[in-house]
Amino acid sequence: MKKDKIAELSNKCIVNTYNRYPVTLVKGRGLKVWDSEGKEYSDFVSGIAVNNLGHCHPSIVNAIKKQAQELIHTSNLYHTMPQAELAKLLTKKSFADKVFFCNSGAEANEAAIKLARKYSKDNYGEDRFEIITMYKSFHGRTIATISATGQEKFHKGFEPLLPGFRYVPFNDIPAVEKAANGRTCAILVEPVQCEGGVNMPDKDYLRGLREICFAKRLLLIFDEVQTGMGRTGKFFAYEHFGISPDIMTLAKSLGGGVAIGAMLARDEVAKSFIPGTHASTFGGNPLACAAGIAAVKAIDKNILSHCKRTGDYFIRKLKRLREKYSFINDVRGIGLMIGMEMSFPVRGITEECLKRGFLVNYTMDRVLRFLPPLNVKTKEIDRLIAVLDEIFGEIKNKIFR
């Protein structure tokens, strides 16, 4: 089917919830993807931090093929080997003792919200249910997770929101201390605000949250849906800061491209979930878990060290562009989660990158966001830098001619 026919069919039959680019992608290998007309692109979006190992990584493809021939779905009425093995791998690599599997980051955060409320009610009584979250946060698109999200643009049209969330500024410990009261049960935070503009935590911010939670007997929940699975140069972002949460959520790259989410928790907290309190029909199905096992095993020390090196290299290159062009306000990030904040809306830049063979993402209207596979090569980064330099030069000439 030709590109225009595919787009026509999509527009006719699919709910219009995305501002799609005029490209139909049909194939991917590693960093590269190809459209329906055979044009090649270098993908610096990675399915929004999903394809951490690139497109169609051989070990993930083989795991999916093998599992699909054996067992795809049974429901959680029965035990399965892939689910148990993936849970073992995740608990071994993290602070957690127990895992709940679901299908997405929003579902993982729903589970975390429910567990935090249930744990608090079990241990402290009925009136302790509020969760402190941050302005510019993003936790999902369900009614509970948009209520947790501290961005009004996601709230509009869906009011009344779920009660029980208080928003405070990111990187503001005094604001958290002021907001915490007798009704508070938890703090929910992304170690790095991803959709909010790749906002980095201050050096002692997450440690400060941990201390508040210890002092006030609150649960600390880390949303690592986008930062987890090696994206920051550590397997989990919290490892950079010398502290750990009580609950953590994962999704995005956990399945190497296959939809899966997970909520991890300390055993003491996880005990508040018993049969009947929470469930997911498809959560942790054998196919998704087989892909997850392959994805977890593939992100080894070499991949993590490569991510850190190439991320540092990428940031240095982008900062050189900042020195050259006054309309670049900031470059920030960690590992291969990098943002470049501009002084104007940037969708036009992503469209120009697309024309020149690069998939680039943006968020918060003015922040170019770079999320290449963790195994991206420096020469591939150099090619993108050259294209950005070219585009920025054209913008500069238009501004000052």
Domain-embedded: residue 38: no
Q: Which residue has the tokens 């997970």?
A: 262
DSSP 132: E
Q: For the chain, give the percent of residues with pLDDT over 70.
A: 99
Distance CA 291, CA 67 (A): 9
pLDDT at 184: 98
Q: 105 φ, ψ to 5°?
A: -65, -40
pLDDT at 189: 98
Distance CA 222, CA 188 (A): 6
pLDDT at residue 251 is higher than 90: yes
User: Does the annotation mark 252 as catalytic?
Assistant: yes
Give the domain CATH number at 294.
3.40.640.10
Distance CA 89, CA 291 (A): 13
Count of CA atoms in the C-beta half-sphere (13 A) of 36: 10
Domain-embedded: residue 102: yes
pLDDT at residue 1 is higher than 80: no
266 Cβ contact partners less than 8 Å away, ≥ 6 residues apart:
95, 96, 97, 98, 246, 247
State the chain's mean pLDDT as an integer. Answer: 97
Model confidence, pTM? 0.96
Q: Which listed residue (44, 95, 100, 138) is catalytic?
A: 138
Distance CA 47, CA 41 (A): 13
Domain-embedded: residue 363: no
Q: Which listed residue (234, 252, 308, 317) is catalytic?
A: 252
What are the pLDDT digits (tens) for 324-346? 999 999 999 999 999 999 999 99
Mean predicted confidence (pLDDT) in 132-161: 97
User: Does the annotation mark 138 as catalytic?
Assistant: yes
Mean predicted confidence (pLDDT) in 247-258: 98
Domain that holds residue 172: 59-298
pLDDT at residue 400 is higher than 80: no
User: Does the annotation mark 377 as catalytic?
Assistant: no
Domain-embedded: residue 279: yes
pLDDT at 2: 63
**How far is CA 218 from each of CA 139, 264, 269, 273, 339, rounded to the nearest angstrom?**
19, 17, 11, 17, 31
Domain-embedded: residue 90: yes
Domain-embedded: residue 158: yes
Classify residue 99 by burial, with Cβ atoms within 10 Å: 0-12, 13-18, 19+: buried
pLDDT at 4: 73
pLDDT at 401: 59
pLDDT at residue 87 is higher than 70: yes
Q: 331 φ, ψ to 5°?
A: -130, 125
- CA-wise closest residue to 293 among 71, 46, 138, 84: 84
Using alpha carbons only, what angle is made at residue 73 by residues 71 and 78, rounded to the nearest 5 degrees?
A: 95
- For residue 212, name the pLDDT band (cuts at 50, 70, 90): very high
pLDDT at 230: 98
pLDDT at residue 198 is higher than 80: yes
Domain-embedded: residue 189: yes
pLDDT at residue 105 is higher than 60: yes
CA gyration radius, the chain: 21
Element (H, E) at 286: helix 286-298
What are the pLDDT digits (tens) for 228-246? 999 999 999 999 999 999 9
Amino acid occupying residue 342 = M
Domain total in the chain: 1
Distance CA 75, CA 175 (A): 44
- CA-wise closest residue to 327 among 342, 317, 339: 342
Domain-embedded: residue 79: yes
Q: Which listed residue (223, 308, 314, 317) is catalytic?
A: 223
Q: Are 189 and 200 in contact (CB under 8 A)?
A: no
Kindly report each contact of residues 3-10 with a partner whose C-beta sits within 8 Å and lies 24 or more positions away, as own/partner: 3/35, 3/36, 3/37, 6/36
Distance CA 196, CA 39 (A): 32
Q: Are 73 and 286 in contact (CB under 8 A)?
A: yes
Amino acid occupying residue 13 = C
198 Cβ contact partners less than 8 Å away, ≥ 6 residues apart:
192, 332, 333, 337, 338, 339, 363, 367, 369
